Amino acid sequence: LRQRMAWVLSQILVIAKTAVGGYFSSTEMFLSYHDIFVRNAFGNYLDVLREISYSPLMAENLSYVASKSTAYVKKTKNRLEFADENFAREIMQLFTTGLDLLNMDGTLKLDAEGNAQQVYTNVEIRSFARVWTGFQRQNSRGNVEYYDDRNRIDPMKIEPQWRDRFPKSDLYGGFIGDKYPLCVDMPSRQFLRKGAKYRLLAGSARPELMTDNSKFTQRFTLSSTSSLFDVLCNDQGSAVCTFPQIVELDINLSCDSVECEVDTVRVVEVTSGVFYEYIAPPCVEHPFYDDAMKLNRATNLKDPIYGNPLLPVATSACCETPNSFTLAISDNRYEIERMTFATQEARCAALERQSCEYDHVDIDALSHEKDVVYHWAYAPCYILAKVNPDGDIAIVHNAIIPSNGQPFVQHVMADSLNYFHVNWEENLFPTAENGQCGSCTLLDGVNCLCETSLTTSTVFTNIPTSADDIISALNIGAPDPANFDTNYYGVAATGPGFKVYHVGGASGSYNVDTIFEVTDHNGRLLFLKNVMSNVSINDPNGSSFTFRNPVHFMSLIPSETNARDAMYETEATLQHYFYHDNTAPFLCIRFIQRFGISNPSPRYIEACSTAFKTGSYYSNGIDFGTGAYGDLAATVASIVLDREARSTSVRADVSYGSIREPLLKIISLMRSMEYSSFDDESPVVIFSDIHLMMGQMPYEYESVFSFFLPEYEPSGVISAASLVSPEAMMIDEPKVTGLLNGIQSMIKYGLSRCPGLGYGFSLHVNLGGCYDGFYNRASGALMYQPASGASTVQVIDDLSTLLTSGRLSWESRQIIVDVYENYKAQIDENAGLRMAMQLMTSTPEFHTTTTPILSGISRPDPVLPTPTGIPYKAVVFLFLSGGCDSFNMLVPKTCSSTASRPVDAYTHYVDSRNPVHLLQENLLPIDSSGQVDCTEFGLHEELTSLQQLYNSDELLFFANTGVLGSASDKTNYMENTPTQLFAHNFMQDETKRVDLFDEVAGSGVLGRLADVLTANNVATGSSSLDGTSIILASLSDESPPPVVVSGSGMKQFVYQSDSRDEIITNIKRLNQATTMDSNFMAETWSANLHQSIAQNEVLYNSMMSSSITSKFGDRTLGQKFELIAKMIETREERGTDLDIFHVSMNGYDTHANVESVLTEKFGEMNSAIASFVENMKSIGRWNDVTVVQASEFGRTITPNTGAGTDHGWGGNVFMFGGNVNGGKILGSYPDDLTDNSPIGIGRGRLIPTTSWDQIWPAIASHHGVTEDSDLDIICPNRKKFANAFSQSDLFK
């Protein structure tokens, strides 16, 4: 069970092997990653989430390794780049919360209009992306397997200088860090208080979680009379210190000697050469605070910044007179001591000096850290808010150059672009109108720089009515009252589920110092402060704009930015996901599905969700779990012990169960049929290319979306019943053929591969041919033998028990009994056993967890269409999966500036995309009259075939195209486009469905085209070279079902067998038609198997008759186009007037290294297209073929810090063919690529200006659709757009 749960977790928290460097030669890194799941299978999901988040494999997989903050890149490279958004999106969509709000039972939470509600938007994605900055691999080490010098095994470290420092908005309208105590509220000398933690550094004096430049800095030495010394020494009554690795104080300690004079410590020396690092407890800061004071360096006054005088964030500087701009001295109790401004004031007064605005500090005693730490300067300051047109703000520390001529730290200057989201009251904020910003200063024509004021108020003035009221009203946390001095706080009142603490206890009053103790619904103990802090901007008309004062973990002061606080922020973010109300039901649905129930009832999901949230599940007198939220032992118990998983009565439900995963079927077969290795010294089972045959193998994922989509609805009875079957994604013709051929090969020849055929799940280990019952080529074989003297019925019953859990129907048993008897009589008992095993492993009882009710009626074989004699045509849909960065496919090249745009379009493109822009001299020129004042556009240098086709008027582009409900701008795009924008799976479906409002749900645009043409007596065929695709899904049962073809070529079903016809006949008998009340999973398997056998026969024979011999290369897309070419050539054998093909090319999710990836991908695509065009011309079909390219979305114009781009929206696509009216760019290429554009929605995302609804009607018309009513079926949303393209726009 532990291994099964680990397998479940690995399919949710996915590492796509091809996303990781060295995947083809290294195994230890994947084993190390998988060990996370084995280790924590019955542990807590938070631990799993934490470990995968720090995994270098996950960081490479989802491209956040070495992601850096906008501020860091601006400072070091003077470029505008943003944090990589990949992990921020997928950790929610796939690992925790999902996309839509759920009830505990997994049903959707609907709004007042009955619509689903999104968990997050791009606002939250951009915010969380900044959390995942700063992660870097550990240094390489010996004794582990390496592909290169990158450590892909050890948990990552955090580089604090890369980390984004600013507040991060959360999923509830607040901030990461809400309900954590403010650092200014921590009790004095927190390093001696309960909860203070110390970490042994041994002989090193350099802290590991704080930033110090020198290991030689003199540290704070403890007195032997100190209570802290006693705890850290831990001599246990002897005279010898034991120095525990980690020490956490469980009581408050009294200070001793110099300890009483300092505000905090960093590293303490206990005995000579033995050091501990003090780890302060997590706390947060407000970016807006009163009485801000300026901080300066000691000798280099560059990069001043403001500090909160109540926090120990700087060291001292004392002058003889204030503002003397002269020499200051520092009075510290240890080197680089941090103190509050009040402590500095006291130190200076003791020296008969004053705080001052100094010129420099005498640094003789500060030689090790002279320009690292900041010093307090007596210069009262104020903090401003820079507001952009979206209402996001950036922190500005004064807008003028200070008197010493040095600019402030760049990330708080007036030109800062470090914006973060805040929630303005009534959504009102300063905006630039008529060249003014009210009381604020206008910057850059669009931003407002505003002075701020702070309001701190008491929330509750008397005892609240409930704990929920307290939790919902209070956002600022508080320290545990027990951490303060004895009797400082006391319990003043209690209520249902909470306690009230006042300063002075019962004699106190409700004020901003009141603390509430409360436990939330997830079992977390919270201490909350009775205070609200708001920031206001006054307006000349007397009104004000207000937002809640945010919180942040990371200090804005460079010397105080450290890994410790970055880790606290990371943990707070992980807990934010983990404790979200959606996480339990979202995960439970996926867990239950992976345990074999595709459509769990709401009751079942709620039982699992409850176990996850409570950490407990009670069954048969046993209480499973620890009682902690997220406990996986309780969760697994609730799944496998629930009546829906164990009761036999529920199996009568037609929706019960699931189709089994291919790999689980293989492992089950090998275990039950007693697989044995022939090599006793190396019994390891080695599979080879098994994922190519049946679609599944550990870590052979195509993408982070795993093997199966939880919401997948296969056509047929399951889709008609609005149910799902994720595993049905693996029962198309190539995978069914590969799976059953592989099983039969293992049964007949052992674990090997037959020469020249490529069948079998492993490579051969010896020479020789493949002969039934001979295992000379195999590394092992199935060694099951029935009990001695067992009758035929007993043998088949035993096989049924082992292979189908005894579910094999009586009718199927009888079929297999007869075959067994026949083979036993004609050959021998072993031959009969092998044939019985082959047949039983084809049954729906083996391939599903259910039992069918057979009707006794054979399934009819599909009938090939009859050509009508009309001219042949073909549509090829080429999908670039992952979101192609098509603004580096099609680029302005030779352009002019205009009065409204002072820079030409290419320069504007470079300014917007730097550093991921293409060089002008490398662009392949094409004519582009009429687009953004350019005479020429350019194509990526790898796209020479596209350039040739464009210049010969056989290829055109559609500019800024994408999924769109109606013409939109930034004010209305959300309500006009009701889908999960920017999510791969949803946007892929929307691009292929072209039915945004679900008027013809469950179908695709080309499936509906096939429906219309079939109804008009056009013999239509639909084929996918990349598995089942929604674009080919039809509405009508009259349309021929889509055929799935393996991109690597055709394999014959039931190969190399003298009894092939007999086997196929018996397989069809075992998978005969079922009754109306038969199980849907079993029916789906049998229907697809029957269909696959027929399709395989037709396709295999037609492919063998193809005369195409031209080489398409050995790369994947070329092989797929070669198959398409062969199918077009043999269309008469298949009987089609019109063929529709779907082909996909993966790898375009370019969150990192966009240019190198596009160079590789475009090169492969260009070669495949060139070969395809050449072959179509050679067989005389060039004028009959139209190729339409698409992708789920474009990408952000602005880059991220990994030289990549993130999920965008509008993008550029192309269409080509001999009859295409090419040589032009249709639609409108954006003339403004910035967020200031009416179609710019932030972070370089552009709303499309051309919809697919404007394109497909013309394509349909060209392929024979003439009636408006038919076009309405194909594109039900087309009338929302007034300017659809005509057939003559697109075709000659």
* pLDDT at res. 218: 72
* pLDDT at res. 758: 62
* pLDDT at res. 325: 63
CA torsion angle 343 349 355 359 (round to 10): -120
Q: Beta strands 220-221 and 1250-1251: pairing type?
A: unpaired
Task: Assess contact for 55 and 36: CB atoms under 8 A.
Answer: yes
Task: For residue range 1040-1059, list pLDDT tens digits in order.
Answer: 889 999 877 788 888 766 78
- As a whole number, mean pLDDT of residues 699-712 equals 91
- The dihedrals phi and psi of 59, each to the nearest 5 degrees, come to -65, -35
* pLDDT at res. 22: 66
- As a whole number, mean pLDDT of residues 682-698 equals 88
Task: Answer yes or no: is pLDDT of 400 > 60.
Answer: no
Helix axes 1154-1178, 1116-1129, angle to 10 degrees: 20
- Which of 1037 and 182 is assigned the larger pLDDT? 182
Task: Assess contact for 394 and 313: CB atoms under 8 A.
Answer: no
Weakest-pLDDT range from 321-325, 372-376, 649-653, 864-868:
321-325
Q: How many CA atoms lie within 13 A of 56 on its CB side?
A: 20
Task: Assess contact for 1007 and 1031: CB atoms under 8 A.
Answer: yes
Task: Assess contact for 513 and 530: CB atoms under 8 A.
Answer: yes
Task: For residue range 987-1006, list pLDDT tens digits in order.
Answer: 999 999 999 999 998 899 99
Task: Answer yes or no: is pLDDT of 1091 > 90.
Answer: yes
- As a whole number, mean pLDDT of residues 202-213 equals 86
- As a whole number, mean pLDDT of residues 1061-1077 equals 95
Both structure tokens of 1289: 């726009």
- The conformation of residue 19, written as its DSSP 8-state character, comes to G
From the DSSP assignment, how many helices (H) and strands (E) are in the chain? 36, 41
- As a whole number, mean pLDDT of residues 855-881 equals 92
The three-state secondary structure class of 805 is coil
Both structure tokens of 460: 């509750």
Task: Assess contact for 534 and 548: CB atoms under 8 A.
Answer: yes
Closest CA to 225 of 275, 270, 277, 273: 270
Task: For residue range 608-620, list pLDDT tens digits in order.
Answer: 999 999 999 999 9
Cβ contacts of 225 within 8 Å, gap of 6 or more:
256, 257
Confidence of residue 496 (pLDDT cuts 50, 70, 90): very high
Closest CA to 953 of 1215, 619, 1243, 660: 1215
Task: Answer yes or no: is pLDDT of 149 > 90.
Answer: no
Give the integer Cα–Cα distance in Å for 1121 and 1172. Answer: 6
- As a whole number, mean pLDDT of residues 223-231 equals 96
Average pLDDT over all residues of the chain: 93
Task: For residue range 1125-1158, list pLDDT tens digits in order.
Answer: 999 999 988 999 999 999 999 999 999 999 999 9
- As a whole number, mean pLDDT of residues 383-399 equals 92
Task: Answer yes or no: is pLDDT of 765 > 90.
Answer: no
CB burial readout 749-788, b (16+ within 10 A) else e: bbbbbbeeebbbbbebbeeeebebeebbbbbbbbebebee
Task: For residue range 255-311, list pLDDT tens digits in order.
Answer: 999 999 999 999 999 999 999 999 999 999 999 999 999 998 887 677 889 999 999
Helix axes 583-594, 632-640, angle to 10 degrees: 50
Task: Answer yes or no: is pLDDT of 443 > 60.
Answer: yes
What are 175's strand-pairing partners?
169
- As a whole number, mean pLDDT of residues 1191-1203 equals 96
Task: Answer yes or no: is pLDDT of 23 > 70.
Answer: no
Cα–Cα distances in angstroms (integers) from residue 485 to residues 498, 529, 531, 1094, in the given order? 22, 18, 21, 82
Task: Assess contact for 304 and 295: CB atoms under 8 A.
Answer: yes
* pLDDT at res. 389: 93
Task: For residue range 632-646, list pLDDT tens digits in order.
Answer: 999 999 999 999 999
Q: Beta strands 515-519 and 375-380: pairing type?
A: unpaired
Closest CA to 740 of 662, 813, 812, 667: 662
- Count of other CB atoms within 10 angstroms of residue 990: 25
- State pTM to two decimals: 0.95
Task: For residue range 82-111, list pLDDT tens digits in order.
Answer: 999 999 999 999 999 999 999 999 999 999
Task: Answer yes or no: is pLDDT of 623 > 70.
Answer: yes
- As a whole number, mean pLDDT of residues 818-833 equals 95
Query: Edge to edge, what strands does the sheet with 498-503 contain?
Result: 489-495, 498-503, 515-519, 525-529
Task: Answer yes or no: is pLDDT of 511 > 90.
Answer: yes
Which residue spans within 523-636 are E strands per DSSP? Answer: 525-529, 531-538, 544-548, 617-619, 622-624
Q: How many CA atoms lie within 13 A of 41 on its CB side?
A: 14
- Which of 777 and 419 is assigned the larger pLDDT? 419
